[in-house]
Amino acid sequence: MEHESNSADGPGSAPEPGSAPGSGPGPDSAPGPGSAPATLRYHVDRDVYSEARLHSSVLHKRERDPKGLCQRVGEHVRCSRERVKAGALSLLPIVSWLPVYPVKEYLIGDLVSGLSTGVMQLPQGLAYAMLAAVPPVYGLYSSFYPVLLYTFFGTSRHISIGTFAVISLMIGGVAVREAPDAMFYVLGNGTNATTTTTTTTMVLDVEARDARRVQLAVALTTLVGLIQLLLGVLRFGFVAIYLTEPLVRGFTTAAAVHVFVSQLKYLLGIKTERYSGPLSVVWSVVAVATNIRDTNLSTMLVGLVCMVFLYGVKEVNERFKKKLPVPIPGEIIVVIVSTGVSYGMNLFQNYQVAVVGKIPTGLLPPALPDHTLFSAVAADSVAIAVVGFSMGISLAKIFALKHGYSVDGNQVTGTLELIALGVCNFVSSFFQTFAITCSMSRSLVQESTGGRTQIAGLLSSLVVLLVVVAIGFVFEPLPQTVLAAIIMVNLQGMFKQLRDIPTLWRTSHIELAIWIVAFVASVLLGLDYGLMVSISFAIITVIYRTQSPKSMLLGQIPNTGLYYDVDQYEECVECSGIKIFHMNSSIYFANSELYITALMQKTGVNPTALLARKAQQKKRRKKQEREAEKKSTIIKLDVDKGVSHAVVDVRLAVQANGQVPESTSDWDCEETLFLEEGPEGAGGTEGAVHTIILDFSPVSFIDSVGAKAIKSVVKEYAAADVCVFIAGCSRTVLSQLRTLQFFGQVVTPDVVFPTIHDAVLHCQLSKSRPLLLLLLLLLLLLLLLLLANEHGGESLIDRTPVIQQDCDDWMIPLAFQDRGALSCCMH
């Protein structure tokens, strides 16, 4: 029977016997004026349950009809109107929100946001194409097709899809690696003006190089889209969780270093080779420093002026963002002004300032990617696909949380976002684009200027389309140093992530290590190898945390069922003879030995040492028994001869008042000392440890190695007369233990309890039963002595030999079982 009652007693009310009251803040009734608020209390009066009893008489599983394989497959492939509708809404989110689009409420904000974002897309598309090592017009293509497709397939209402610095840099690294400049030098003829002789020189075929790099970028984008689609269909969106926030922030900061270094030659007007692979940053810096004397001052001046202006505009936008209706479009202002200045002053001809060059008007017809390049870029496509998705889904969830729409159903889920990005990349690759993801800077602009839906993204793509179709040629005089300035200033947000270092130092050293490893590895080894090293190190930190969990002994807060760390809280008291062990970890092959070692160290009970000590005590006991038998034989012989002895054996000596003397034999002293102090190395001073309770509440899973280790240690402790119980075991772990055949003759479900308090109460009750039996025997002995004294009319002293002989017949065997109980009974 179980009975629970809730009551609101005063703070001074005592708990009922056998109850486990707990208290917490909160009034249970309205207190009168001037009176202290009452404390909410609860009292529980129920039986102590073990897992065996719960399973047999309390908990009953629901009856469910098992479904066959064919039935389950049929349910998944069955087609109905509801399922078709749900599938269409999930794959095309625009179908769910466009019919109910509030025109009057949202249209103005989306219009302003779309124009602002489109104006920002133009210069960034041109600039990030340089990072991808392709002609600038392909950046415009990548700013149109994917953005248009995301309007229909996208799951977020606020992020801006398009070119992004990190992804563009990774693509550029692959393109430069597979199509370096050295592959495209051809023979050219030159004429010496002084000698009028013709010389043969090597000339770089820029058109052939760019065409090859475009093919590589398109093939890479196709594979990225296919991988993202495959991961989405297989519901592998969870892979992004392995890219932890410190890892992503350290990685993107390192990417910012790569981007910044790669733009130095454009800012200074220096012609150097573009490097890729490990130590590419170092070689790039060395190349710039070596050719620093060739700096074009006009190019550097234009770039620095643009950087100062853009930085100032960003500071104004940030400081007055609440007062400005829309952010000042500094980038498009710089592009328009610098293009006009370059065209008017003819910077390319007069000052040798490098410009964008030819931008074809109109869109390219769709074409199949070169499938022969897939094998060369397959490994890189996996890294780009995962990085692009992780950045997109993280930013989408931030905006979803900020604006209060759920992150489930047809909203921002990992699976749907993967499919959306996969469609954008895969379909767009047939129109000569490179891989895209969301941009934080553009997304912030789109959201801050009033964008509510992806209508803003649709309008921004139309702005780019207008430029590509009609006025693309206008930007041909645009200096490349201006694009480099735009890229460098946009890295400001990424470099601000360096502030994470002091914050992580104060909060988590492990996450700081992940951040630093991701940053250093990505800077020195390149973004591809750096990402692999970063993920590997993050997984190693998880293993390290499982290998170094915190272990503790729990103690009870008096008069409650609450148990906490005895080393941390002075109110917690250990139960006499009971050690409650807690470790914040699951138990599996990697840490099972660590768990057992910590258990023995914390409890101070080593079963091996305990068994050795017990064997030593047993050997000593047999020796003393033999000496006692010899002594008893001599005493009996002397008694027969009439010799008197002042010292007799403890089993035969009874004082005149019928009590055992206070002193005991050497055997009793040594055994009592052993029981009180525990085995060597135990260090216990509160009494012998007879029970160990394993708190399994933090254990989320256990494998076969862990189950065998626990079962083995239970057997070892049982051989040393120490009981082991398990408490707080979840139903999932219990199911795993049953599957692993953990329960048997030694370990039964009776040793598993739902809570620590159940286990403690069971142990205390089990240890109190022998004491009750001894008390009953004591009362029976006293009754027999009184009856014998009254019935025979003899004094107690005269009947001592008879009583002693009677007691010897049944008390002596009991003494060997519990010598402390014998002393208690004789007293």
Please, are residues 522 and 251 in contact by the beta-carbon 8 Å criterion?
A: yes
Q: What is the DSSP string of 391-438?
A: HHHHHHHHHHHHHT--SSTTSS-HHHHHHHHHHHHHHHHTTT----EE
- Which residues lie across from 40 on neighbouring strands? 24
pTM of structure: 0.73
What angle do helix axes 330-345 and 103-131 make, rounded to 10 degrees? 50
pLDDT band at 470 (very low <50, low <70, confident <90, very high): confident
- Say how many Å lie between the first and final Cα of the chain, rounded: 39
Alpha-carbon gap, residue 262 to 154, rounded angstroms = 32
Length reported for the chain? 827
For the chain, which residues make up each domain, given as ranges? 95-259+271-281+323-332+379-468+498-540, 555-605+689-754, 769-827
Cα angle 121, 123, 125 (rounded to 5 degrees) comes to 60
CATH label, 555-605+689-754, candidates 2.60.120.10, 3.30.750.24, 3.40.50.620, 3.90.1150.10: 3.30.750.24
Residue predicted with more confidence, 634 or 689 = 689
The mean-pLDDT minimum among 57-66, 348-357, 714-723, 787-796 falls in 787-796
For residue range 531-587, what is the model confidence (pLDDT) as tens digits? 889 999 998 998 888 888 899 999 999 988 899 999 999 999 998 889 999 999 889
Rounded average pLDDT over 288-315: 93
Burial class (CB in 10 A: 0-12, 13-18, 19+), 636: exposed
Alpha-carbon gap, residue 754 to 745, rounded angstroms = 21
For residue range 381-419, what is the model confidence (pLDDT) as tens digits? 998 998 888 888 878 877 887 777 654 433 445 678 888
Residue predicted with more confidence, 608 or 789 = 608
Please, are residues 273 and 287 in contact by the beta-carbon 8 Å criterion?
A: yes
Alpha-carbon gap, residue 421 to 459, rounded angstroms = 19
In this predicted structure, the answer to whether residue 680 has a pLDDT above a threshold of 70 is: no
Please, are residues 8 and 29 in contact by the beta-carbon 8 Å criterion?
A: yes
pLDDT band at 789 (very low <50, low <70, confident <90, very high): confident
In this predicted structure, the answer to whether residue 195 has a pLDDT above a threshold of 60 is: no
For position 509, what pLDDT does the model report?
Answer: 92
In this predicted structure, the answer to whether residue 134 has a pLDDT above a threshold of 90 is: yes
pLDDT band at 811 (very low <50, low <70, confident <90, very high): very low
Rounded average pLDDT over 430-458: 88
CB neighbour list of residue 317: distance below 8 Å, 6 or more residues apart? 324, 327, 328, 330
Alpha-carbon gap, residue 367 to 362, rounded angstroms = 15
In this predicted structure, the answer to whether residue 459 has a pLDDT above a threshold of 90 is: yes
3-state secondary structure of 685: coil
Rounded average pLDDT over 107-120: 88
Please provide the average confidence, as pLDDT, over all residues in the chain: 80
pLDDT more than 90, % of the chain: 36
For residue range 310-362, what is the model confidence (pLDDT) as tens digits? 999 989 988 888 888 888 888 889 999 999 999 999 999 999 899 988 888 88
For position 768, what pLDDT does the model report?
Answer: 63
For residue range 500-546, what is the model confidence (pLDDT) as tens digits? 999 999 999 999 999 999 999 999 998 888 988 999 999 899 888 88
Nearest 5°: phi and psi at 753?
-125, 150
The mean-pLDDT minimum among 591-600, 727-736, 773-782 falls in 773-782
pLDDT band at 667 (very low <50, low <70, confident <90, very high): very low
Looking up tokens 């853009």 gives 310
Residue predicted with more confidence, 457 or 191 = 457
Alpha-carbon gap, residue 797 to 784, rounded angstroms = 15
Please, are residues 162 and 114 in contact by the beta-carbon 8 Å criterion?
A: no
Please, are residues 260 and 491 in contact by the beta-carbon 8 Å criterion?
A: yes
Alpha-carbon gap, residue 518 to 529, rounded angstroms = 10
For position 248, what pLDDT does the model report?
Answer: 87
Please, are residues 296 and 268 in contact by the beta-carbon 8 Å criterion?
A: yes
pLDDT more than 70, % of the chain: 80
